[in-house]
A and B are shown apart, each in its own frame.
Chain A
């Protein structure tokens, strides 16, 4: 059974940093691209970042470019999101989502999400 479990969320002050993790199990992690998608309270879904299976290709949404860094460790079956210079508008539930090979907007499994709150 495919499982994605996010962790690392919490309360952080504006300008602060946070590192999210996503532990994957139930599939060959190194064969799949991964994504982060977020959802602000009461709002819709917003794609944040994509990383290919080998980390050779990475994309970011304009709203996080230069502040967030996506990475993965295939030996540890884990996905990460390093978030720096956090702003109030980054407050959201952050989901990790598995991507289907060669189909970047095709997210076939999602984690349950971790809440990030940016506030003083």
Chain B
């Protein structure tokens, strides 16, 4: 059971806009930045969004992130076949049992 909750799957057709949600609590998303990682099949994860809504250089502006309260979202517009991948949200968690990094369980995006 992951600390951050994501839908296990999402899908869309080429050109569509899809969103992936990430739900947490006051100790993680509610008080810290959210990061998004993309993992293409058979490869290592790659940073997609940092500090809630910032894109590293090289990441297309089709990808955008947002955060509100204890939830965050990743939006992908103009969906392309190469976007088919697993997407993970992550945040720092100021847990009473000790600080830690927490990930969502991941969302598998299928481009139909």
Q: Which residues of A contact B (CB under 8 A)?
A: 35, 37, 44-47, 50, 59-62, 65, 95, 97, 100, 103-113
A58 to chain B, nearest CB (A): 11
- Residue pairs across A and B with Cβ atoms less than 8 A apart, 30 shown, are A35-B101, A37-B45, A44-B105, A44-B106, A45-B37, A45-B45, A45-B88, A45-B90, A45-B103, A47-B100, A47-B103, A59-B99, A59-B100, A60-B98, A97-B45, A100-B50, A103-B33, A103-B50, A103-B51, A104-B99, A105-B32, A105-B33, A105-B90, A105-B91, A106-B33, A106-B35, A108-B50, A109-B47, A110-B45, A113-B44
A91 to chain B, nearest CB (A): 18
Instruction: Decide if A61 touches B100 in the complex (CB within 8 Å).
Output: yes
